[in-house]
Amino acid sequence: MTILVTGATGKVGGQVVRQLAERGLDVRALVRDPATARLPDGVSVVRGSLPTVDSSVFEGVDRLFLVWPFFGVDGLGDFLDALPARRVVYLSSSGGAQWAEAAEAVIRSRSLDWTFLRPTGFAGNTLEFASQVKEAGVIEAAFASLARPYIHEADIAAVGVRALLDDGYIGKSFELSGPALVSQTEVARTIGEVTGRPVRFRELTPAQGAEKLRSAGWAEELVTSASAAWAHMTEHPEPVTSTVEEVTGSPARTYRQWVIDHAGAFSPTATP
């Protein structure tokens, strides 16, 4: 069995590659630059950039873990049509995101043996606060009360690996979350407790928060959609599910565990 993983150097794709490699399986990782890909020994690393890749990438592929890193589906159908495998596990999204639903529709239209993973907010998305924490010990953002059941990328990958290997998950969609809601103020406190350096949360107005996103390079469409989604979630938080434990047999990792696993990202740079 040869399993192709796209987005193989990303948060979730990288974890899928590692977990498959730990099982001794034949993994083919699609990356933009093989020279800089830090993947386990024994993984076959191939160069390619979605949406169009060389046909050699697909040779002998039996199953696909699909990370589609676009907010549209242009090229997705052609990519799937070139795939010899019928088994596809797609990293989708919870909450009915338009781009995710569109991609799911394209996958269904190809009559593939699909499984959809629909995670809530990634714990890894809080890495966007790392520079603020390292430089000033503060997190500045809008919506202090926004609470999300942040999920560890390793848990998303673990469910994905099960879905790749077990045909009993064909045609199923999994709503995935971490074990508890964590507010933005709790994010700051947890990072401080784990790193041993107090981190405070400074709440911005929604307008200030949107401007901060623009300054960070976010496209206006994403600023608008994200801000609206976060405002909605302050009153209607994403649901906490038990799916990770039901599928893998192990409880979902806490946000604190994620911070422990990534503490170095929030630690101040050492003075030369």
What would the pLDDT profile of 213-255 be if each residue is shown by its tens digit? 999 898 898 899 889 989 999 999 999 999 999 999 999 999 9
Residue 268, pLDDT score: 81
Question: For residue 74, is pLDDT > 70?
Answer: yes
Residues 108 and 127 in one domain: no
89, 27: one domain = yes
In a domain, 157, yes or no: no
Looking at the structure, do residues 140 and 105 belong to the same domain, yes or no? no
> Could you tell me the pLDDT band of residue 151, with boundaries at 50, 70 and 90?
very high
Position with higher pLDDT, 85 vs 23: 23
Of 242, 139, 250, the closest CA to residue 190 belongs to: 139
Q: Are residues 94 and 204 in the same domain?
A: no
Domain final residue, candidates 119, 136, 160: 119
Nearest-angstrom CA–CA distance, 82 and 77: 9
Average pLDDT score over the chain:
94
Domain count, the chain: 2
Domain membership flag for residue 165: no
Q: Give me the percent of the chain exceeding a pLDDT of 70.
A: 99
Q: For strand 182-183 and strand 113-119, is the pairing parallel, antiparallel, or unpaired?
A: unpaired
pLDDT of residue 269: 63
pLDDT at 68 over 70: yes
Selected residue with higher pLDDT from 269 and 41: 41
Q: Does residue 41 fall inside a structural domain? A: yes
Residue 270, pLDDT above cutoff 50: no
At position 98, the amino acid (one-letter code) is Q
Distance CA 184, CA 19 (A): 30
37 is a domain residue: yes
Residue 201 in domain: yes
Q: Is residue 32 part of a domain?
A: yes
What does the pLDDT read at residue 97? Answer: 84
pLDDT tens digit sequence for 11-46: 999 999 999 999 999 999 999 999 899 899 999 999
Q: Residues 32-56, buried b or exposed e (16+ Cβ, 10 A)?
A: eeeeebebeeebebbebebeebeee
DSSP H helix total and E strand total for the chain: 10, 11
If you write DSSP's letter for every residue of 200-213 in order, what string do you get? Answer: EEEEEPHHHHHHHH
Task: Give the three-state DSSP class for 171.
Answer: coil
Domain-terminating residue out of 119, 141, 161: 119
Average pLDDT over residues 149-162: 98
Residue 59 exposure: Cα atoms within 13 Å on the Cβ side? 6
Statement to judge: residues 130 and 265 lie in one domain = yes
- Specify the pTM: 0.94
Q: Please indicate, yes or no, if residue 36 is contained in any of the structural domains.
A: yes
Residues 58 and 29 both lie in one domain: yes
Instruction: Pick the closest to residue 243 from 144, 125, 141, 156 (CA basis).
Output: 156
Whether residue 219 is found in the same domain as residue 270: yes
Residue 271 above 80 pLDDT?
A: no
Please tell me whether residues 43 and 78 are part of one structural domain.
Answer: yes
Of 77, 103, 119, at which residue does a domain stop? 119
* pLDDT tens-digit readout, 170-210: 999 999 999 999 999 999 999 999 999 999 999 999 999 99
Phi, psi for residue 164 in degrees, rounded to 5: -65, -35
Cα–Cα distance measured from residue 109 to residue 7, given in angstroms and rounded to the nearest whole number: 23
Residue 94 φ/ψ region, left for φ over 0, alpha for ψ in the -120 to 50 degree band, beta for the rest? beta
- CATH number at 37 reads 3.40.50.720
Q: Per the domain annotation, does 171 fall within a domain?
A: no
Q: What is the pLDDT of residue 171?
A: 97
Structural domain boundaries enclosing 50: 2-119
Do 63 and 132 lie in one domain? The reply is no
Statement to judge: residues 98 and 132 lie in one domain: no
Residues 35 and 142 in one domain: no
Q: Examine the domain organization and report whether 82 and 98 are in the same domain.
A: yes
pLDDT at 65 exceeding the cut of 80: yes
pLDDT band (50, 70, 90) for residue 272: very low
